[in-house]
Structure 1
Amino acid sequence: MKLLHLTPGTGSFHCGSCLRDNALIKALRARGHEALMSPLYLPMVTDAEEAGEGQPVRVGGISLYLQQKMPRLAGMLPDGAKRWLDDEKRLRWASKFMGMTSPHDLGEMTVGSLLGEKGKQWPEWSALVDWMEKEARPEVVSLSNSLLIGLAPAIRKRLGVPVVVSLQGEDAFLDTLPEPWKTQAWELMRENAKSVTKFIAPSRFYAEEMMRRLEVGTDKMEVVFNGLNFDGYAGSRMEPEVPTIGYLARMIHGKGLTTLVDAFIELAGEIEVPGVKLRVAGAVTKGDEAYLDGLRAKLRNKGLLDRVTFEPNLSFEDKVKFLHEITVFSVPATYGEAFGLYVAEAQACGVPVVQPCHGAFPEILQMTQGGVLCEPDDVESLRRGLVQVLTDASLRRRLSEAGSAGARLHFSSGRMAEMFEKVWA
């Protein structure tokens, strides 16, 4: 099968979707498929063996922004100027300002993309479809997430091939858009869904959620659990001498970092866990810095800042090292996560996890048996869960062994590719 997979890059930090996409394409190639991954917006940031290496960014984020905001100027730019704007160095520089875009601009850009051929951005997207039609010539087009769904009608019309769309938690983003963008975006999502051959959800929870939100039936929805190549996560694990809680995700309120910090503050006074530390790692943009300054101030006022480290934008190697150096892991997201690849990563490294009982987390932990659940957005419940794991060595050992085996069994890239293949069939 000749597959073209379109995936947005981040330009400057790792993200779960990029890691998942990279692992998927490499695993599909290992199964004999001709799979090509093409980045959009910004260059990819992933592990050392990038599946899309050598592929240029087909639709540059700067050019796309100009097309939406100043379409007349964008239309007058010579090809040389557009190549200059879409240069990898320029795009990586622009990526540093992610998170500083106003809610109005985010809404406008999102709806502009979902409008497809009717939107101001279409000259940029049309060039991508031209390339697909004349050069790439795929048998299947795979879209990394449903925010790219505005392409589906044109792909079906001009290429006449199936369009498969992965779902990666887009509702959490769309629901934060201000009106009228939020309502318009969901209306366009439902309209464009008619041109999609199959949706792929990373959990049963999210399949049901998005069938309702997109108004599609079971005939259009399949569940393919996210997966990774866990060979890169191998390493010797030794618990730290001082009990250490680890967090690895985007450093934002929505991922539950405020809840975790508050639980840590309560936990720091426990006699049962003397000297407990907190290590916070993950993606940070300029727009996140004010929020993090507020957390540091809160910790400083409690006299606990010296027991907390913030480790932004780790390399892949440093991330794996981080996971091998903590006692327990928690990302208590405030919303129902579609999957939570960070949980699979932690468990693959043998780290017990404490996660809220909502979204896909109950489903994941039922499969791996590698963690315990707490109540969502509940500082006291999270504190109790962390104490339970931190103070019971035999429990940690059982969770570590079960989680490591379960993650590799259910969430490997090979299994993901095999399930993805069945969707095509």
Structure 2
Amino acid sequence: MKIAFIVPGTGDSFYCGNCFRDNLQASALRKQGHDVMVIPLYLPVNNKAFKTNSPIFFPATSFYLAQKFFQRIKMPLWIERMLSSGSMLKMAASLSGTTSGDGMEGMTLAMINGDDKVFLAEVERLVSWLKEDEQPDIIHLSSTLLIGIAKVLKEKLDIPVVCSVQDEEVWLDSMKEKYANDAWRSIEVNLQYVDKLITTSNFYKNVLQQRLPNSKEPEVIYPGIDQTDYKQVNRPTVPVIGFFYRMNHLNGLDILAKAFLILKEKNNIPQLKLKIGGGYTNADIKFVKKLKKMLEPYQNDVEFVDDYAMSDHASFYDAVSLISVPLTFDEGVGLYLCEAFAAGIPAVVPDTGSFSEIVDGAGVLYQPNNHEKLAAALESLLTDSQAFNNARKKALQHARYKYNDIALADKLVDVYQSCLRNW
């Protein structure tokens, strides 16, 4: 089967959950012999794990400015070429990483509505390339934030379109209310051009059915990790708390830092250390500097891994005792949890969003999500060897039976084949 994944590029400087999910899906399908192409939008996807070799469509620089200034007249070709050049996209990538849709309403609605002049010109370029060069059997969109593309692809290519949906509200609800409401309405309308929705947890399935009550029922497919990537060979000899996600307030890194300070001051866990990875963008530099200053009294016990690469994931988990990412929003899955479980690493996370469903005994859940409660939860697991070992066994069990790449690929193929049979 030939599958085209259409994904947004983010600049590759931080752990992007949806980007990693897309990579896991593409990799799992390739392992089973399927022909998978990954087509980036906005920015290049430079990570070799994606194995992308397509042009970049809807390049962030030219598309954004065309939306703002060239709706009535066509952007001059020389400006378009300059803005879409590798050097300009590289500069845009270095500045990327906003987690807010505020100020990006026009571009967001263009991609959801799929009907303005600038959008239609760019989507025609994508359709021509797919039709003439690739001829996929099925399209898999990374997000409903790209759903405007679905209508044109269905009409011009006459093939099924599948769409992933996860955590869209984090972006949409940060927009001005009028635009956010318009976006949700347009998503619901354009879902008629999608043959199947796929999400990552029963929790998010329920969220979606509340947000889009008239939408098709989504298929729940958990993330799947390649177990062979996580060797579990160099376990730390002292307790190490790990944080592995983009370093910002939204992901709760400051909550974890304050909890770590409490534990160090109590000193009930000898030689306790903190390892922080997952990368960050220019928008996060001020936050990271402030955090490093906060942790300075224990700088010998804290390690910041400033650089990020997808190829470094497994080695990070090999160097920590447990994972803790105290998110400040309700996440649809938490891929870092599924990865940690593949390495036999238990989790300490807030009892919010999908976490009770995903963790399910492989760690400790706490509530409310503040640094005092987190410190107590971390201490309870790190000072109770029996509870820790039980959580570790449960983590490995989840990895083997629930979050593995074979199950992921099998379920994706079932969805694709069902769509093709009904086409």
After TM superposition, is the score higher than 0.5? yes
Secondary structure of 1:226 counterpart: coil
Question: 2:237 pairs with 236, 240, 251, which one?
Answer: 240
Contact 1:38 1:57 survives alignment (8 Å): yes
1:16-31 matched pairs, under 5 angstroms: 16-31=17-32
Amino acid at match of 1:298: M
Amino acid at match of 1:55: S
Change (3 A) 1:394 1:45: farther
Deviates more, 1:319-328 or 1:65-74: 65-74
Amino acid at match of 1:36: M
Q: Which residue of 2 aligns with 1:334?
A: 328
CA distance in 2, matches of 1:55, 1:93: 20
Change (3 A) 1:107 1:397: same
Q: Which residue of 2 aligns with 1:252?
A: 248
Deviates more, 1:148-157 or 1:266-275: 266-275
CA distance in 2, matches of 1:407, 1:417: 15
CA distance in 1, matches of 2:18, 2:227: 16
List per-residue Cα deviations over 1:182-209 (Å, max 9, x = no partner).
2222222222222221110100110111
How far has the Cα of 1:130 moved from its partner? 2.8
Q: Which residue of 2 aligns with 1:362?
A: 356
List per-residue Cα deviations over 1:107-143 (Å, max 9, x = no partner).
2221222121236433222321232334333232110
1:195-210 matched pairs, under 5 angstroms: 195-210=193-208
How far has the Cα of 1:280 moved from its partner? 1.5
Contact 2:225 2:342 survives alignment (8 Å): no
Q: Which residue of 2 aligns with 1:308?
A: 302
Change (3 A) 1:272 1:211: same
Amino acid at match of 1:34: D
Change (3 A) 1:322 1:222: same
Q: Which residue of 1 aligns with 2:261?
A: 265
How far has the Cα of 1:282 moved from its partner? 1.1
Change (3 A) 1:386 1:346: same
Secondary structure of 2:67 counterpart: helix
Deviates more, 1:34-43 or 1:309-318: 309-318
How far has the Cα of 1:343 moved from its partner? 0.6
1:2 aligns with 2:2: yes
Secondary structure of 2:50 counterpart: coil
CA distance in 2, matches of 1:149, 1:387: 45
Amino acid at match of 1:385: A
Q: Which residue of 2 aligns with 1:56?
A: 55
Q: Which residue of 2 aligns with 1:44?
A: 45
Q: Which residue of 2 aligns with 1:171?
A: 169
Contact 2:259 2:372 survives alignment (8 Å): yes
For this pair of structures, how many residues does the alignment match?
Answer: 416
Unpaired runs of at least 5, structure 2:
419-423
Contact 1:174 1:185 survives alignment (8 Å): yes
Q: Which residue of 1 aligns with 2:223?
A: 226
How far has the Cα of 1:261 moved from its partner? 1.6
Percent identity at matched positions?
A: 32
Q: Which residue of 1 aligns with 2:283?
A: 287
CA distance in 1, matches of 2:182, 2:400: 40
Q: Which residue of 1 aligns with 2:319?
A: 325
CA distance in 1, matches of 2:101, 2:7: 23
Contact 1:246 1:329 survives alignment (8 Å): yes
1:410 aligns with 2:408: no
List per-residue Cα deviations over 1:39-73 (Å, max 9, x = no partner).
11112244x54332x22223321121122122269
CA distance in 2, matches of 1:41, 1:230: 32
Contact 2:71 2:117 survives alignment (8 Å): no
Contact 2:100 2:170 survives alignment (8 Å): no
Change (3 A) 1:339 1:263: same
How far has the Cα of 1:74 moved from its partner? 8.1
CA distance in 2, matches of 1:279, 1:39: 31
1:389 aligns with 2:388: no
Change (3 A) 1:104 1:353: closer
Change (3 A) 1:237 1:361: farther
Secondary structure of 1:336 counterpart: coil
1:77-92 matched pairs, under 5 angstroms: 77-78=76-77, 82-92=80-90
Q: Which residue of 2 aligns with 1:106?
A: 104
CA distance in 2, matches of 1:328, 1:190: 40
Contact 1:237 1:350 survives alignment (8 Å): no
1:183-202 matched pairs, under 5 angstroms: 183-202=181-200
Amino acid at match of 1:286: N
Q: Which residue of 2 aligns with 1:160?
A: 158
List per-residue Cα deviations over 1:372-418 (Å, max 9, x = no partner).
21114232221121001111233323322331232132112221111
TM-score, length-normalised on structure 1? 0.90
